[in-house]
Amino acid sequence: MPPFVKAPSMEPSTELRALISRHAAVQKQTTAVQGLTLYKVSQPTLPTNSVYSPRICLVLQGAKTIQLGERTFSVDSAQYFIATVNLPVSARVEQADPAAPHLALSFELDREEIARVLADTPSTHAAGQRDHTGLAVSQQTPEILRAALNLVSCLDTPEDIEMMARLARLELYYRLLRGELGPMLRQLATQGTNLAQIGRVTDWIKQHFAEAMSIEKLADMAGMSATSLHRHFKAVTLMSPLQYRALIRLQDARRRLLLREASAREIGFEVGYDSQTQFTREYRKLFGRPPAADAAFLGGN
């Protein structure tokens, strides 16, 4: 793939830090490049619960940790991570201060676009059926950094974003496919792989978490037996389907409580709990306080 941006005079990581510092006016900065978000955080944060959509994230300065199920992933300024399915996580910035803020970028992955790049990418490796965890960390490479730099550099010329960002996305996907985590992306972009099928199931749960759910229905959706679904789902998300749905429900309940959309009792029913006792018990286990007390605490901070 021919280069389309003049090679920078500085190291790609140095120029990326400068670009993020210049374009990030707030801690979490959405941008005119679709799917690209910049982060500039001046102090360590408390754990924040959210659902990671499929994305790549490069840390350029500082460090962060991500809790997925019972496993903790650490990402420093020489690393990046890829999430290939929707994942309920708890993440925090570990290293940051005003003189050296945490700087990072994330970019949402487009499965169909990756598939198109994959079709034109020479590879000696097929998209095998080995189970990949839905989140993985790897070392940055000069090629990946340069591709990310080309993408973020589009922000300097808004009139060129439509064309140049499209080219930069293709280059970034190409470099990722050729990198250490390429096999994950190949599975994500290839119809019928375990990762693609589990991704379909997590998409459905994320959209329908308040509805009734059966393992048999999810297994049919994935084209697997119930036993296979459970095994592959846990390999990818590090939790069972029921645990996954509970986390999605509880995270949404906490968001609604913070926005004061309704009472704790009403929100419990809205996110799918028939039993207020079960809602309170599971909420307290995850967040350390019962819903009403947590809402009061969050509202006072």
Per-residue three-class SS string for 157-199: CHHHHHHHHHHHHHHHHHHHHCCCCHHHHHHHHCCCCHHHHHH
Residue 8 scores a pLDDT above 50: no
Residue 156 shares a structural domain with residue 39: yes
Domain-embedded: residue 278: yes
Residue 271 shares a structural domain with residue 141: no
Global confidence as pTM: 0.89
Question: Residue 65 in contact with residue 75, Cβ under 8 Å?
Answer: yes
Those residues with Cβ within 8 angstroms of residue 19's Cβ, 6 or more apart along the chain or in another chain = 149, 152, 153, 155, 156
Residue 17 scores a pLDDT above 60: yes
- The beta strand positions in the chain, using DSSP E, are 28-30, 36-41, 48-52, 55-61, 63-68, 71-75, 79-83, 87-95, 102-108, 135-139
Residue 179 shares a structural domain with residue 288: no
Work out how many domains the chain is built from and give that number: 2
AA letter at 223: G
CA 79 to CA 215: how far, in whole Å? 36
Residues present in the chain in total:
301
Domain-embedded: residue 286: yes
Residue 59 shares a structural domain with residue 174: yes
Residue 297 scores a pLDDT above 90: no
Write out the residue range of the structural domain in which residue 275 sits: 243-299
Question: 3-class SS at 218?
Answer: helix
pLDDT of amino acid 3: 46
Mean pLDDT of the chain: 92
Domain-embedded: residue 149: yes
Confidence bin at 258 (pLDDT 50/70/90): confident
Question: 3-class SS at 115?
Answer: helix
Domain-embedded: residue 89: yes
Residue 187 scores a pLDDT above 70: yes
Lowest mean pLDDT among 67-71, 126-130, 143-147: 126-130
